[in-house]
Amino acid sequence: MGRLHLKEIKSISYEHADVKKGYTDQSLRINLDATDIIITPIEEKVKKTFIGGKGYDLWMMWNAVSGSTKWNDPENAICISSGPLGGTPGYPGGGKSIVTSISPLTGAPIDSNVGGYFGPYKKFSGFDVIQVDGKAKKDTIIFIDGIENTITLFESENLPTDAYELSDILTRHFDKDKPINVSVVTTGPGAANTFFGCLNFSWWDAGRKRVRYKQAGRGGIGTVFADKKIKAIVARCGTISMKTNNPADFEGLKRVTKTHAKEIHDLDPKQNRMSLVGTTHLVPIMNDHDCLPVHNFKFGSHPESRVIGEETYEHLFDKGFDGCWKGCTVACSHGVKDFSPVTGPYRGQTVFVDGPEYETIAGCGANLGIFDAHTILEINFYCDAYGLDTISVGTSLGFVMECFENNLITTKHTGGMALNFGNRFNALTLIHQMATGEGFGAIIGKGVRRMKAIFAQEFGADMAFMQDIGMESKGLEFSEYITKESLAQQGGYGLALKGPQHDEAWLIFLDMVHNFMPTFENKAEALHWFPMFRTWFGLCGLCKLPWNDIVPEDNKTMPEPAKVAKHVGWYADFFSAVTGRKTGPDDLISMSESVYNFQRVFNLKMGFGTREYDTLPYRAMGPVTVEEYESRQERYDKQLKEKYGLQITDMSAKEKVAVLRQKREEQYELLKDAVYERRGWNNNGIPTLETIQRLGIDFPDVVELLKKNGAT
C-alpha cells in the first residue's frame, strides 16, 4: 500500500436507515464544490411515480440541472441508483446499478445499466440513490462505509491512473480482510481525454481472489466523472442475504427467486449456454442473418467471423463462476486469465480481461475488419483500463477507417498511419492515443458527430457522405447491429430516448426474420411495449438478460412468445413480494411509462426531444453506396419490383440506390407517426398534456415546458 496517499478532507457519521420493503427512502448528495454531504428523505409521491433506479436518477437530475446545463458545468450531476429489487442475492440479474448524467456526446440525459456490487452496497449502506455534483479541486475519492456508517471524502495523490490497477488497490485498502465487502466505481485516463469515457463497477471475485469489472459504457459518464476529478466512489457493506432488502413477503420472494433461478440452471445449458459462452453466441448468429456490423456497418456478414465467436471464446474463457451479481445463475460475465498484451503499458505482462461480450467483439472486431480473437481481447482490456466505451470506440474507429478508405482523410491527417479496415496494430495505437489525448486518437475520442464536423471543416471531407455513413444518432454512436432490413429496429434505434443503444428495443428477429409485425401499427405496438418493459428493469435495479435470453420450455406455444409472459408474471410477483405493492404484469408497463415519458420531456428541457432529433444516418436504413447495394442486389431489386411495383430493368445501380432510399426514408417517417401516436405524443414527438396527466408526471414545470413547446 506504499503508494496510497489519502488525505481526509471531510467525514460525517450518519444514522443507518434500515431498508424497508426494498427501499431506504433516503438519498445522498455530495457536492464537490463545497464538500457538502447531504442526506435527504425521499417523498412518497416520488417513490410512487419514479419507482427507483433510473426513475430516481432522472428525478434527481431534473432538479439538479437547468435547460442550459452543459455536461461539464458543475451543476451536472452523476446519479447512481439501484432500485427496490436490486440487491436480492440468488435472483438472476438481481443486482444492477443505473447511472445517469448529462452526456458529453448528446447533451441530454444518458443512462447506463451496469453490473458489479456497487448499487446494492450503496443501498444497504442507507441510500436508494446518490447524486454527485460540483467539481473537486483535486483528485477525490468518495467512501461510503455502510459498516461504520460514515461518509468520507479523501483527496488522493499518486494513485494509478488506470481503472484496472486503481480498483484493485482501493478494494484491498478499504477492507483488506474482507475485500468482498467493497465495490469501487472508477474510470481511467481515456475518460479525461475523450467524450466517451466509461465507468468500471467492480466486484470481488471470491473464487479467483481478484477484482472484476463491468462497465457503464454508454454516453461518456466516465468523462463527466473525470471532469469532476472524482478518482473513485467506494461503497463498503457487510454480509447480504435475501432478508437484507427486508421484503414484505419473504416466503413469496424465496419462492419466485428459487423458481427463476432453477429454470435458468436447468435450461441455459439447453439454450444459449450463456454460463459458458456469455453473449459470444450472438456473433455467428448475427453473421448468418446478415446483421453483424462489418466494415463500419456496410455489410452484415464476413466469412472469417466464426473465429471471433463462441467456438473460440468458450475455450479462452477462464472456467469458474462468472456472475456479476451474487448468485446470478446466468453467470455470463466471463473473462480471460493470463492474457499477455502485445502493445501498450501492459505489454508482456499477464492480465485478466473482463470480457469480451458480443458488442465488443462486433464493434472492435468485425466492424473494423479485425477477425482476430486476441486483438479483440487486447482492445477490450485497454478500453476497460483506460475507461473507454468499447461500443463508441468500435463505431468511431469503423467510421474513421471508412473515411480513410474513401480518401476523406489521408495519412497526412492520421499522423502517418494507414487506417484501412483490418489494420489491427494501428487500431490499438489509436486507442493508446485516445488514453493520452495525443495524435489522431485525440480527434477520434471526440466521437463520430464531432469528427464529421472536424473532417469537413478542417480536412475538406464530404459532409453529406459522412452524414450517411457516420453511425451516430443524437450524438451517440450506434451499438452493434445492422438494421437495414428491419424497419422496427430502425425505430428501436432512432426513437430511443438516449440514442441508438439496443437496450430499449431489440426487434430485429421478430421483424426481419419472423415477419411478426407486418404493419406500422404492429411495429408501433412493439415500439411501445418493449421499451416500456425494458425500462422497468432499470427502475428496479435488475438485469434484463434473465427475462428473455433463457425462456420456459413451453414459451413457444404462448400467444406472444417474444414477451415471455411467464417471466413477466414472475417479475410482477418479485415486485409484489419485495415492496408489498400488489402488482400485476400490466402494472410494470405503466410504472415504466411514467419514467419513459419523463425522460422524453427531460430531453425537451435540454433542447432536444422532438421529431427532428429522432433521425438516423441513411446507412442504418439502407445501402449508401452502389457497392453496398450490389452486395445484396437480389434482395433490393426484389423489393423495388415487388414491394414498390417499380420497373427497374432500365435503371442504373445508382438510380436504384436513390429510389430505394426515397422509399425507405418515407417508411421511417411513417413509422415515427405511428409510434408517436401509440405513445401518446403529438406529431412532433412531444408527449401530450393528456398523456402526462394520465401518467401522473404533470408537475407544474413539466406542464409549462410542454406548453411552451406547443403541446396541447
C-beta of 242 vs 332, nearer to ligand SF4: 332
Give the three-class secondary structure for 208.
coil
The span of 326-334, 479-487, 497-505, 594-602 binding ligand SF4 (CB under 6 A) equals 326-334
614 binds, among ligand SF4, other proteins, none (CB under 5 to 8 A by kind): none
Residue numbers 373-392 binding ligand SF4 by CB under 6 A: none
H-run or E-run covering 5 = strand 5-13
Can you list the positions of beta strands (E) in 17-96?
A: 26-31, 36-41, 78-81
Distance between CA 556 and CA 506 in Å, rounded? Answer: 18
Q: Which of 83, 119, 323, 609 touches ligand SF4 (CB under 6 A)?
A: 323
Instruction: Please report how close the Cβ of residue 98 comes to ligand SF4 at its closest, in angstroms.
Output: 13
120 binds, among ligand SF4, other proteins, none (CB under 5 to 8 A by kind): none
Instruction: Please report how close the Cβ of residue 599 comes to ligand SF4 at its closest, in angstroms.
Output: 22
The span of 119-127, 329-337, 362-370, 400-408 binding ligand SF4 (CB under 6 A) equals 329-337
**Does position 497 bind ligand SF4 by CB under 6 A?**
no
Query: What separation in angstroms does the CA of 64 have from each of 73, 431, 706?
Result: 11, 34, 19
Task: Say if strands 26-31 and 36-41 run parallel, antiparallel, or are unpaired.
Answer: antiparallel
Instruction: Please report how close the Cβ of residue 57 comes to ligand SF4 at its closest, in angstroms.
Output: 19
546 binds, among ligand SF4, other proteins, none (CB under 5 to 8 A by kind): ligand SF4
Instruction: Please report how close the Cβ of residue 311 comes to other proteins at its closest, in angstroms.
Output: 8
Instruction: Please report how close the Cβ of residue 268 comes to ligand SF4 at its closest, in angstroms.
Output: 10
What one-character DSSP code corresponds to residue 556? G
Assigned C-alpha cell, 598: 419523463
Query: What separation in angstroms does the CA of 116 have from each of 55, 184, 205, 212?
Result: 20, 9, 10, 8
325 binds, among other proteins, ligand SF4, none (CB under 5 to 8 A by kind): ligand SF4
Report helix, strand and coil shares of the chain as percent, to nearest 5: 45, 15, 40
**Does position 114 bind ligand SF4 by CB under 6 A?**
no
**Does position 119 bind ligand SF4 by CB under 6 A?**
no
Give me the sign of the Cα torsion angle 309, 312, 316, 317.
positive
**Does position 702 bind ligand SF4 by CB under 6 A?**
no
The span of 246-254, 317-325, 451-459, 477-485 binding ligand SF4 (CB under 6 A) equals 317-325
DSSP-assigned letters across all residues of 434-445: HHHT-HHHHHHT
CB environment 273-301: b (16+ within 10 A), e (fewer): bbbbbbbbbbbbebbebbbbbbbbbbbbb
Cβ(275)–Cβ(330) below 8 Å:
yes
**Does position 215 bind ligand SF4 by CB under 6 A?**
no
Q: Which of 90, 247, 492, 546 touches ligand SF4 (CB under 6 A)?
A: 546
The span of 248-256, 330-338, 397-405, 641-649 binding ligand SF4 (CB under 6 A) equals 330-338
C-beta of 132 vs 336, nearer to ligand SF4: 336
C-beta of 179 vs 363, nearer to other proteins: 363
Instruction: Please report how close the Cβ of residue 389 comes to ligand SF4 at its closest, in angstroms.
Output: 17
Radius of gyration of the chain (CA): 24
Distance between CA 309 and CA 287 in Å, rounded? Answer: 10
Dihedral angle of Cα 261, 278, 620, 379, to the nearest 10 degrees = 140
562 binds, among ligand SF4, other proteins, none (CB under 5 to 8 A by kind): other proteins
Distance between CA 48 and CA 50 in Å, rounded? Answer: 6
**Does position 524 bind ligand SF4 by CB under 6 A?**
no
Distance between CA 603 and CA 686 in Å, rounded? Answer: 10
352 binds, among other proteins, ligand SF4, none (CB under 5 to 8 A by kind): none
323 binds, among other proteins, ligand SF4, none (CB under 5 to 8 A by kind): ligand SF4
* Plot region of 320 (φ>0 → left; ψ -120 to 50 → alpha; else → beta): left
Instruction: Please report how close the Cβ of residue 84 comes to ligand SF4 at its closest, in angstroms.
Output: 17
Q: Which of 204, 325, 506, 596 touches ligand SF4 (CB under 6 A)?
A: 325
509 binds, among ligand SF4, other proteins, none (CB under 5 to 8 A by kind): other proteins
437 binds, among ligand SF4, other proteins, none (CB under 5 to 8 A by kind): none
Instruction: Please report how close the Cβ of residue 513 comes to other proteins at its closest, in angstroms.
Output: 5
**Does position 328 bind ligand SF4 by CB under 6 A?**
yes
CA-based angle 578:579:582, to the nearest 5?
105
Q: Which residues bind other proteins (CB under 8 A)?
A: 270-272, 279, 281-282, 284-285, 288-290, 309-311, 357-359, 479-481, 502-503, 506, 508-510, 513-514, 516, 548-551, 555-557, 561-562
Instruction: Please report how close the Cβ of residue 207 comes to other proteins at its closest, in angstroms.
Output: 26
311 binds, among other proteins, ligand SF4, none (CB under 5 to 8 A by kind): other proteins
Phi (first) and psi of residue 688, to 5 degrees: -75, 165
**Whole-angstrom distance between the N-terminal and C-terminal Cα of the chain?**
62
**Does position 182 bind ligand SF4 by CB under 6 A?**
no
Residue window 71-110: x/- pattern of binding to ligand SF4, with contact defined by CB under 6 A: ---------------------xx-----------------
* Closest of 447, 397, 435 to residue 188, by C-alpha: 435
Q: How many residues bind ligand SF4 (CB under 6 A)?
A: 14
Instruction: Please report how close the Cβ of residue 487 comes to other proteins at its closest, in angstroms.
Output: 16
328 binds, among other proteins, ligand SF4, none (CB under 5 to 8 A by kind): ligand SF4
DSSP-assigned letters across all residues of 576-626: HHHH-----HHHHHHHHHHHHHHHHHHHHHTT--SGGGS---GGGTS--SH
Give me the sign of the Cα torsion angle 602, 606, 610, 614.
negative
C-beta of 285 vs 589, nearer to other proteins: 285
The span of 47-55, 173-181, 331-339, 560-568 binding ligand SF4 (CB under 6 A) equals 331-339
Cβ(542)–Cβ(324) below 8 Å:
no
* Plot region of 580 (φ>0 → left; ψ -120 to 50 → alpha; else → beta): left
Distance between CA 296 and CA 480 in Å, rounded? Answer: 10
Q: Which of 52, 86, 115, 538 touches ligand SF4 (CB under 6 A)?
A: 115
459 binds, among other proteins, ligand SF4, none (CB under 5 to 8 A by kind): none
332 binds, among ligand SF4, other proteins, none (CB under 5 to 8 A by kind): ligand SF4
Phi (first) and psi of residue 81, to 5 degrees: -135, 160
Cβ(423)–Cβ(372) below 8 Å:
no
Query: What separation in angstroms does the CA of 712 have from each of 423, 682, 693, 709?
Result: 54, 9, 12, 9
Q: Which of 99, 182, 331, 551 touches ligand SF4 (CB under 6 A)?
A: 331
**Does position 332 bind ligand SF4 by CB under 6 A?**
yes
Give the three-class secondary structure for 429.
helix
Distance between CA 46 and CA 491 in Å, rounded? Answer: 30
290 binds, among other proteins, ligand SF4, none (CB under 5 to 8 A by kind): other proteins
C-beta of 311 vs 405, nearer to other proteins: 311
**Does position 240 bind ligand SF4 by CB under 6 A?**
no
Contacts with ligand SF4 by CB under 6 A lie at: 92-93, 115, 323-325, 328, 330-333, 543, 545-546
